[in-house]
Amino acid sequence: MTRKALLFVLFFMLVAFRVPAYSASSVSAAGGKSFAQAWNSYSSGEKKSFLFGLATAVRIMCTDASTLQKDAKPQEIEQHFRNCFNSYVGVEPGRLIDAMNSLYADPKNAMIPIDGAYKISLMRLRGDKVDEVIVQSRKYGERIQQEIDQQRKAGK
């Protein structure tokens, strides 16, 4: 399986099988009725902080994953770490912020969760085809919107 296919499978699994990390309260608390409104309400510094926090989390995850290899040589552990880290990060933050801003400029993408928009933008910057990922992410966002609407109706 190619690296791109593995990334797509990983992303799909994260989107399709993740515990709903975003509820009506988390979108509202983030500054709007949609993830796009939340993202667009962040200042440039807050957007950079989000990316640096994400990079830190990826570094921790990749370090753990790399050191779990039994009988691996230090060079193999280092290479595994680099491959892992670069698959999730490795793009200049300004370019990534611009790509996420561009993705959220399309109103159809408003309910794609921020982590999904991040991964789509990263894939797009690397030249991967993202059309199908965007379609699936929009469907996921529609399900989130339905959940939010149900929560709001129940809260009235």
- pLDDT at 8 (0 to 100): 42
Rg (CA), the chain: 17
Query: What is the rounded distance in angstroms from the CA atom of residue 59 to the CA atom of residue 55?
Result: 6
Query: What is the rounded distance in angstroms from the CA atom of residue 156 to the CA atom of residue 152?
Result: 6
Structural contact between residues 36 and 109, judged by C-beta atoms closer than 8 angstroms: yes
pLDDT in tens, 57-72: 999 999 998 888 788 8
- pLDDT at 95 (0 to 100): 96
- pLDDT at 87 (0 to 100): 86
Top-confidence residue, 45 or 2: 45
Asked if pLDDT for residue 142 goes beyond 80, the answer is yes
Q: What DSSP string runs through 15-60? A: HHHS-----HHHHHHTTSSSHHHHHHHS-HHHHHHHHHHHHHHHHH
Query: What is the rounded distance in angstroms from the CA atom of residue 16 to the CA atom of residue 130?
Result: 16
- pLDDT at 88 (0 to 100): 87
- pLDDT at 156 (0 to 100): 66
Top-confidence residue, 66 or 108: 108
